[in-house]
Structure 1
């Protein structure tokens, strides 16, 4: 998904007339990880590749691929007799899933277009290349891709004599304590936006050293349609301090592919399989391809809810869907995973989302089948695509999920991970080298981290350029603001006369108070189970009200339900408009507040008991 980008003007970051001043005072969350010594990662990283032993077409029967998974003692990526095989490793051709024998050997049926990959076992590490990209797969496409603008897969020729997968032992991946970075929607459309990512979230990750074991998983829309930018993305990931893996998104497509079979060939050639799994500690990560392109009326629109799929020849489009081969693979993969592991289900298009809860194409058709495969397991789903943050807990429900999919509540937590690009790199520039890019839900750009201990986890969102304890923003939603919202939106559509000015939102008139004024808290990772309390001028702390309770209601949309701090930027500097969000709390200010300056102390407590405190100072006047 991409909204229209507003031109970046030479303006300073929002002035006090457009932003409420929120000053953090205390937090119970650990500080950000200490800066990493990059030389340590470079010294320890296992660099190598999959060993492909060429065949001449006369080896074996041509219908079976063989090879072994081996412990690469000398780290040269080449199997020799002294290096023992690793038993019990899962190997797949994207359909079948087999387990290596005592000597590390496997056999798999051959298909003309297949990706063969292993599931990294806990206690071992697959090699990474010079860009830190995990190497654990081999593409087999004898004749190569059809003609594609960005090249696709070169002809692989005859079936190899063997494909051998090297591993090294790793105490780090054996540990039950893991920090796993989930990076949503990097999505640069040009080299300027690559620079924004480099100066922003990539620079932040380059200073962290907490994810060297689990690594960073980029969950789709790695680039924005221009697949030649994969080269630039690799330069970015080469700066990180851990293994890097990728999933495809709807902007990673070979748009000139005529069938879904080849729609991600360039992604496969440059980055990764379109789906796979890997283990760290007691966690099994299932990385899914949730994008089908071009979608077709017979497969994708049998129920009439995805009319965008009706003309794949003249108007090709995508849909959130798993193909049947992938669904079978998922069933077979999970069947070999112990039931006491935590399963992280990652995809680009979410299984379900609040942002697009009424849209079938932006959620996954087979969500119910996935739930059935995970029944009885401890699981969490993570996704991107919507450029918003959503922390949804077990039991949460929105109207569209019931209407479209017959879902009556989430069986396990779902997290939409936000985006490195934020609102597609829109909005006013900052002095840090990237735009503000405030999201459609009022969130800011950044990355998600799953802090896993055993089979339990805590989610953490790190805002680009900020410490971990920056978790919310405060604003004032008054009648004056709501009228400005309407007037400014109309002016933006038809720019006649001077632009309506909002003024200082922290100045509140008596008429504002009697007409209902709320102090708003956008608590980005706030969820069911979170609480927000407000104390005015040192008085008793009282609970704010969450605008979306996630109990089966539809989206609440408009100025009354918006984040005024975000909208004040967006309607002036461009980008999406935060007119709905699932993590906004409101506290109605008393109508009889005395004239003068007041101080509101806001304490937000997340579902894990972590607390964050910020303050907002505002002034009440009798008349404007």
Structure 2
């Protein structure tokens, strides 16, 4: 018993709750939507509220009570059928920051101003809303402008395309909202506001305060602009857990960062899941993918504890970004997943693409194709109960553009060639079926290959071969694409123009197609 008490005390000290106090408050139905609790407004029972570690439910009258220290974000976990108020920038008002002394004054970028003594009551308003099991969310990976000019590219190439969009419940950006200059957080917020949706955010490694010595202080400016870096909410039959998975400084070397979670963050996940029905879809969103690569990029013990906490939830999905490529990752028992069906992580393509590199496209913004051949864009997740379907939308293109086909434009009749037909299926995984046919002939399976996308190499090579300096930034060197297929190109057909058609079946059973043509000419001898 004594050891248990010591462990409890250690937990309090590690989470900033050692200066023990209590926060009390009321979760209520804000009938007149004025943002304050009036005398006749009633409380809402069984609503989860958290201090960032512990989670409790409101009582039958809507009251809650939690321990609080000198640095806590207290927040309501939005229940199904309700919405939280939005501020004038469409950011959800679901939290109260308790920092009596404020953020450290030595920070390069401003943090949270001193909040003063804890209010007598920290209340949260909720408004009823119609919420169906079928809805769509809009997902951004890494907007990441480093300059005001790049923020203009983000607005022109992405925001204008989705501004005023209908039939979408809310949006979520998966970190790296900006590129190190945290003064751009507010301009980023103003840009995203133009979409007209409630917008959630999470922190990335380029949204941090680098002039701190402990990870718990690396989100001070993010908190000032967006609120807690770890939180949760419900919508429909989905429970969302938003997490900061960037450990800074790297706990192993003291330099740079490492993917992972602090103990208090995983304690929050554990406490939160106690109040989540097992038949819900649990969506976890964070910046750095869980793929730990022998522990070099993500701390394996943290991933394992997260997997252990999810073992009784049959419906799960993880969302990440960070890589500036796109991939579907599946974790099975070999990776520590504790269910028969693998856990799916969608590592999303980014709205900044390859960091706003490349030549200007028809929109007047850098093409910024990612180094795996995925064009820059954004995603829609369509939820139906506890199931989901993910669509990737290439910026500036029709939504049907899901495959890039690359091949020679002309080949010699009857000549052997090592050239081939390549298909980059942007949302693909090498287990998908991808087929090709020539001139409406028989469908033939294409072979998944691990190689650089030749279409991307064609974009990259002019930067190294041009004798004139190109405007803009040279794209990143190509990497092997995880969603590339190949087949031989026929040269023994009649001379003339021939059609190529590629089709791919995605993990949801849908068929995507792309067409092209090439010519066969009489072979030329040396």
Q: State TM-score, norm by structure 2.
A: 0.89
1:566 aligns with 2:524: no
- Partner in structure 1 of residue 440 of structure 2: 538
1:385 aligns with 2:275: no
Shift in alpha-carbon separation, 1:324–1:358, aligned structure 2, 3 A: closer
Name which of structure 1's ranges 232-241 and 522-531 shifts more when overlaid on structure 2. Answer: 522-531
- Partner in structure 1 of residue 112 of structure 2: 153
Shift in alpha-carbon separation, 1:98–1:292, aligned structure 2, 3 A: same
- Partner in structure 1 of residue 158 of structure 2: 201
Shift in alpha-carbon separation, 1:363–1:197, aligned structure 2, 3 A: farther
- Partner in structure 1 of residue 78 of structure 2: 120
Determine if contact 2:307/2:338 at 8 Å carries over to the other structure: no
Of 418, 421, 425, the match for 1:519: 421
- Partner in structure 2 of residue 588 of structure 1: 488
CA-to-partner distance for each residue in 1:465-494, whole Å, 9 max, x for gaps?
A: 223211111102xxxxxxxxxxxxxxxxxx
Determine if contact 1:290/1:364 at 8 Å carries over to the other structure: no
1:507 aligns with 2:464: no
- Partner in structure 1 of residue 390 of structure 2: 459
TM-fit CA distance, 1:623? 3.6
TM-fit CA distance, 1:275? 0.8
Shift in alpha-carbon separation, 1:438–1:94, aligned structure 2, 3 A: same
Name which of structure 1's ranges 159-168 and 587-596 shifts more when overlaid on structure 2. Answer: 587-596
Counterparts in 2 of 1:267-278, with a 5 A limit? Answer: 267-278=222-233
Determine if contact 2:326/2:349 at 8 Å carries over to the other structure: yes
SS at match of 1:162: coil
Q: Which has the higher contact order (CA 8 A, sep 6+)?
A: 1
Determine if contact 1:350/1:364 at 8 Å carries over to the other structure: no
Counterparts in 2 of 1:170-569, with a 5 A limit? Answer: 170-171=129-130, 174-211=131-168, 213=169, 215-297=170-252, 310=253, 312=254, 316-352=255-291, 357=293, 360-361=296-297, 366-377=302-313, 378-393=315-330, 395=332, 411-476=342-407, 505-509=408-412, 514-527=416-429, 530-547=432-449, 556=450, 561-569=451-459
SS at match of 1:220: coil
CA-to-partner distance for each residue in 1:322-372, whole Å, 9 max, x for gaps?
A: 00000101011011100000011111001127xxx4672257652121111
RMSD: 2.2
- Partner in structure 2 of residue 599 of structure 1: 499
Determine if contact 1:320/1:365 at 8 Å carries over to the other structure: no
1:575 aligns with 2:475: yes
TM-fit CA distance, 1:508? 3.0
TM-fit CA distance, 1:593? 4.3
Determine if contact 1:247/1:272 at 8 Å carries over to the other structure: no
Aligned equivalents of 1:181 and 1:533: distance in 2?
A: 30
SS at match of 1:163: coil
TM-fit CA distance, 1:594? 4.6
SS at match of 2:481: coil
Aligned equivalents of 1:85 and 1:540: distance in 2?
A: 65
Aligned equivalents of 2:165 and 2:452: distance in 1?
A: 34
- Partner in structure 1 of residue 49 of structure 2: 91
Shift in alpha-carbon separation, 1:261–1:359, aligned structure 2, 3 A: closer
SS at match of 1:83: coil
- Partner in structure 2 of residue 162 of structure 1: 121
CA-to-partner distance for each residue in 1:280-318, whole Å, 9 max, x for gaps?
A: 010001111110111222xxxxxxxxxxxx2x2xxx311
Determine if contact 1:115/1:139 at 8 Å carries over to the other structure: yes
Determine if contact 1:189/1:223 at 8 Å carries over to the other structure: yes
Aligned equivalents of 2:504 and 2:20: distance in 1?
A: 62
Determine if contact 1:133/1:237 at 8 Å carries over to the other structure: no
Of 32, 38, 41, the match for 1:74: 32
Determine if contact 1:187/1:424 at 8 Å carries over to the other structure: yes
Aligned equivalents of 1:364 and 1:166: distance in 2?
A: 39
Determine if contact 1:508/1:620 at 8 Å carries over to the other structure: yes
CA-to-partner distance for each residue in 1:102-137, whole Å, 9 max, x for gaps?
A: 111100101111111111111000011111111111
Aligned equivalents of 2:359 and 2:297: distance in 1?
A: 31
Shift in alpha-carbon separation, 1:529–1:210, aligned structure 2, 3 A: farther
SS at match of 1:336: coil
TM-fit CA distance, 1:393? 4.5
TM-fit CA distance, 1:515? 4.1
Determine if contact 2:240/2:283 at 8 Å carries over to the other structure: yes
Determine if contact 1:389/1:418 at 8 Å carries over to the other structure: yes
Determine if contact 1:62/1:159 at 8 Å carries over to the other structure: no
Shift in alpha-carbon separation, 1:393–1:319, aligned structure 2, 3 A: closer
Determine if contact 2:324/2:353 at 8 Å carries over to the other structure: yes
TM-fit CA distance, 1:255? 0.8
TM-fit CA distance, 1:410? 7.5
Determine if contact 1:123/1:169 at 8 Å carries over to the other structure: yes
Determine if contact 2:405/2:516 at 8 Å carries over to the other structure: yes
SS at match of 2:482: coil
SS at match of 1:619: strand
Determine if contact 1:179/1:450 at 8 Å carries over to the other structure: yes
Aligned equivalents of 2:300 and 2:25: distance in 1?
A: 35
TM-fit CA distance, 1:411? 2.5
Determine if contact 2:337/2:343 at 8 Å carries over to the other structure: no
Shift in alpha-carbon separation, 1:82–1:528, aligned structure 2, 3 A: farther
Aligned equivalents of 2:282 and 2:423: distance in 1?
A: 32
Shift in alpha-carbon separation, 1:568–1:76, aligned structure 2, 3 A: same
